[in-house]
């Protein structure tokens, strides 16, 4: 079985999408890219995350061909592989339909620097132009709006994050949803105070050494 470890992580974090409240039902999708093999593992289309087995996780190349797996890949596979083809700092992508991020995406607004944790993804989170789900156009819109960022809102759709590993991509999704919720709540009672670009630059620098060093 190809990329068994990556398949296990897709199953683990797929379940966490639901238990963490980042998505409902079979919404959203996850992938991990193995640059040495030139292959990505991606969640299958339309299967309950708690029912997915190792053999259900799909292995694809970056041309969109299924290399191994008996299921249809996520309909959003193009939105994953575009980052692996065009960026050298992203090896995992998480897409979810989290409530507050999606709410702001419906307004077609960005999430400004209302909380320092947004620095995990950039100085703000842009909203990509709308396109139908599962299309090349949506993949291209998401890629363009996530330039120099590690998170992007998909208009009238949801949230997408990327990182060097699925652990960090998932953590970024959780943190950005928290920022989206606090921004939404602050706007409901007043005008949020936005952190300056200089402060966000300091935060981004601090986050480079945040947490535990990997062994």
Half-sphere exposure of 201 (CA within 13 A, CB side): 3
Residue 215: band (very low, low, confident or very high) from pLDDT cuts 50, 70, 90: very low
According to DSSP H, which parts of the chain are helical? 4-19, 77-86, 99-107, 136-145, 166-189, 197-207
What is the pTM assigned to this prediction?
A: 0.94
Q: Is the pLDDT of residue 174 over 60?
A: yes
Q: Take residue 120 and report the two structure tokens written for it.
A: 């995990």
Catalytic option among 76, 174, 175, 177: 76
How many angstroms separate the CA atoms of 70 and 63, rounded? Answer: 18
For the stretch 21-62, pLDDT in tens is: 999 999 999 999 999 999 999 999 999 999 999 999 999 999
Q: pLDDT value at position 207?
A: 83
Q: What is the DSSP letter of 131?
A: -
**How high does pLDDT run on average in the chain?**
95
Token pair for 212:
């535990």
Say how many C-beta atoms besides its own lie within 10 A of residue 54's C-beta.
Answer: 13
* 129 a catalytic residue: no
pLDDT tens-digit map of 110-128: 999 999 999 999 999 999 9
Quote the percentage of the chain above a pLDDT of 70.
97
Cα–Cα distances (Å) from 185 to 179, 181, 189, in that order, read: 10, 6, 7
- pLDDT of residue 134 exceeding 70, the answer is yes
Kindly state the average pLDDT of the residues 142-150: 98
- pLDDT computed for residue 5 by the predictor: 97
Pick the more confident residue, 186 or 211: 186
Into which CATH architecture does domain 4-207 fall? 3-Layer(aba) Sandwich (3.40)
Q: Is the pLDDT of residue 212 over 70?
A: no
* Tokens linked to 52: 């997915």
Whether residue 70 is predicted with pLDDT greater than 80 in this model: the reply is: yes
């Amino acid at each position: 079985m190809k990329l068994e470890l990556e398949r296990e992580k897709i199953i683990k974090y797929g379940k966490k999408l639901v238990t963490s409240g980042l998505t409902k039902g079979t919404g959203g999708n996850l992938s991990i890219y193995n640059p040495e093999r030139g292959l990505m593992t991606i969640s299958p289309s339309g299967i309950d995350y708690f029912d997915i087995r190792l053999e259900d996780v799909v292995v694809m190349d970056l041309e969109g061909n299924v290399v191994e797996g008996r299921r249809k890949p996520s309909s959003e596979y193009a939105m994953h592989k575009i980052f692996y083809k065009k960026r050298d700092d992203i090896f995992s992508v998480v897409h979810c339909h989290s409530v507050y991020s999606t709410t702001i995406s419906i307004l077609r607004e960005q999430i400004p620097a209302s909380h320092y944790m947004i620095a995990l993804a950039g100085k703000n989170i842009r909203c990509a132009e709308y396109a139908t789900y599962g299309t090349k156009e949506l993949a291209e819109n998401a890629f363009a709006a996530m330039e120099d960022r590690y998170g992007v809102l998909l208009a009238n759709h949801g949230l997408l994050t990327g990182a060097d590993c699925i652990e960090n991509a998932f953590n970024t999704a959780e943190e950005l949803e928290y920022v989206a919720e606090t921004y939404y709540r602050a706007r409901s009672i007043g005008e949020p105070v936005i952190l300056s670009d200089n402060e966000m630059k300091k935060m981004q620098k601090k986050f480079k050494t945040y947490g535990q060093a990997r062994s």
